[in-house]
Amino acid sequence: MADPISQFEIKNLVKIAEIGGSEIHFTNSALFMAITVVGIWALLVGGTSARALIPGRLQSIAELSYEFVANTIQSTAGKEGMRFFPLVFTLFMFILVANMIGLVPGTFTVTSHIVVTASLALLVFFTVIFYGLYKHGLGFFRLFVPHGIPIYILPLIVFIEVLSFLSRPISHSVRLFANMLAGHITLKVFAGFVTLLGGLGIAGVIGAALPLILVVALTALELLVAFLQAYVFAILTCIYLNDAIHPGH
Amino acid sequence: MATSAHTSAPGGAKPPFPPFNKDTFASQLVWLAIFFVALYVLMWKVAIPRIGGIVEARRERVEGDLTEAARLKEQSDAALKAYEQSLADARARAQALANETRDRLNAEAEERRKKLEAELNARLADAEKTIAATKAAAMANVRGIATETAGAIVQRLVGAAPAAKTVEDAVSDVLKG
């Protein structure tokens, strides 16, 4: 039985360069990032090549995802949030497609690595800080000073606000990473039970039915999680960007 | 061919948990940066303008069709109104014409009736006169016949002809009585 952790191993496929002591390889992770990008490209550009007035299936999916993300931004960050539409749409599609591809048995899940999710979360974090400072200057720091707070507890509130702001990239990245990691481990463990019990003769084959049913159910659940985590990542991005656009609460 | 990144772990020690294996971070970050930026540029420059264009074109088409439909509806409403107006006009004209014709015909009929009545009255009067004259003549004849008959009867009964004057007087008495 393959151990449930081996699916997360980074395998070096081609060595590209060595920078400052760390080797840069083309890895299985990079391969699946490429597949993700090509898949998104095929869906959004290939699917809309007809530019049909009445869309086909692929074009419907492309338009649906476009309008879904656009509505998410407008409902959380308002019209001005549409400035960040390319960023949010790219994040959403990248995470969604990477999660979905990762659910195919034998593939690698790009988003199951903390370094990937943390990079994306930090990208959002610094975008918020830089855009907030660029747009509002020091007024951006009003974000940490809520209105209507008595002066004697204000320092405490500001401290908490700053702390929660700084912890955003952690929760933002760990949520996606942990969901993907835990989901894939669970699937692998139950799938392992199926093969393990199946090798024990007739009684084992009958006993393997339960974990098999569970694997099917868990796969359905993981499909939901794959979409939900991409959506959660995108909507949190919108909420954080809203702080940069309207820091005055 | 494919070699695990953690095979370099020293002395067969337990390999680190893959997501926390620092040896793989540099490669992942480099490729993430490359692919994410590439995807971002593709989305920004190609995919979003294209899908946005499609959605916008559809919205404009639907709006255009709706305004066109509203325009056509207005047109048909106006046509309906004009039609109803002309129908009402025609009805009113027909009514007027009918009234006029009926009045004229009534007047003519009345006139004809009066003429006819007058004519009939005249003829009636003539006829009455003729009847009176005929009756007078007849009465005169009756007297002559009665006188002759009386004379003849008396002659047969008596055997002698009475004087004409006597018979005449007797007949006059009877006719008067």
Contact B5 A87 (CB under 8 A): no
A109-149: pLDDT as tens digits: 999 999 999 999 999 999 999 999 999 888 888 888 888 88
> Which residues in B lie closer than 8 A to residue A177 (C-beta atoms)?
19
Amino acid at B60: E
Range of the domain at A138: 6-245
Most A-contacting residue of B22, B36, B59, B60 (CB-CB within 10 A), to test interface: B36
Q: Which two tokens stand for residue A62?
A: 């492309």
The residues facing A17 across adjacent strands are A24
Q: How confident is the model at residue A184 (pLDDT cuts 50, 70, 90)?
A: very high
Out of A5, A29, A48, closest to residue B17 by CB: A5
Measured in angstroms, the CA of A56 and the nearest CA of chain B are apart by 13
**ipTM, 2 decimals?**
0.90
Measured in angstroms, the CA of B4 and the nearest CA of chain A are apart by 5
What span, in angstroms and rounded, lies between the C-alpha atoms of B100 and B92? 12
- Between strands B3-4 and A22-27, the pairing is unpaired
Q: Give the number of A-B residue pairs with CB atoms closer than 8 Å.
A: 143
With vertex at residue A71, the alpha carbon angle to CA A70 and CA A77, rounded to the nearest 5 degrees, is 85
Burial of A4 (0-12, 13-18, 19+ CB in 10 A): middle
Domain count, chain A: 1
Q: Number of helices (H) and strands (E) in chain B: give both, helices first.
A: 3, 1
Identify whether A152 is part of a domain.
yes
Out of B5, B35, B51, closest to residue A37 by CB: B35
B80-132: pLDDT as tens digits: 999 999 999 999 999 999 999 999 999 999 999 999 999 999 999 999 999 99
Q: Which two tokens stand for residue A106?
A: 């034998």
Beta carbons of A92 and A233 less than 8 angstroms apart: yes
Residue B13 has pLDDT above 80, yes or no: no
- Say what the pLDDT of residue B2 is: 42
B15-73: pLDDT as tens digits: 788 888 888 888 899 999 999 999 999 999 999 999 999 999 999 999 999 999 999 99
> Which residues in A lie closer than 8 A to residue B39 (C-beta atoms)?
36-37, 40-41, 90, 93-94
Which string of DSSP letters, residue by residue, matches A150-210? -TTTHHHHHHHHHHHHHHHHHHHHHHHHHHHHHHHHHHHHHHHHHHHHHTT-HHHHHHTHH
- Say what the pLDDT of residue B47 is: 93
Question: Residues of chain A with pLDDT > 90: what percent?
Answer: 62
Q: Which two tokens stand for residue B172?
A: 């006059």
pTM (predicted TM-score): 0.74
Q: How confident is the model at residue B157 (pLDDT cuts 50, 70, 90)?
A: confident
Number of Cβ within a 10 Å radius of residue A46: 15
Hey, where are the domains in chain B?
Answer: 26-176
Measured in angstroms, the CA of B62 and the nearest CA of chain A are apart by 10
Measured in angstroms, the CA of A33 and the nearest CA of chain B are apart by 7
Number of Cβ within a 10 Å radius of residue A220: 10
Which string of DSSP letters, residue by residue, matches B56-87? HHHHHHHHHHHHHHHHHHHHHHHHHHHHHHHH
What span, in angstroms and rounded, lies between the C-alpha atoms of A98 and A177? 12
A56 or A20: which carries more pLDDT confidence?
A56
Lowest mean pLDDT among A16-30, A148-162, A169-183: A16-30
Closest CA to A40 of A81, A105, A89, A83: A89
> Which residues in B lie closer than 8 A to residue A11 (C-beta atoms)?
2-5
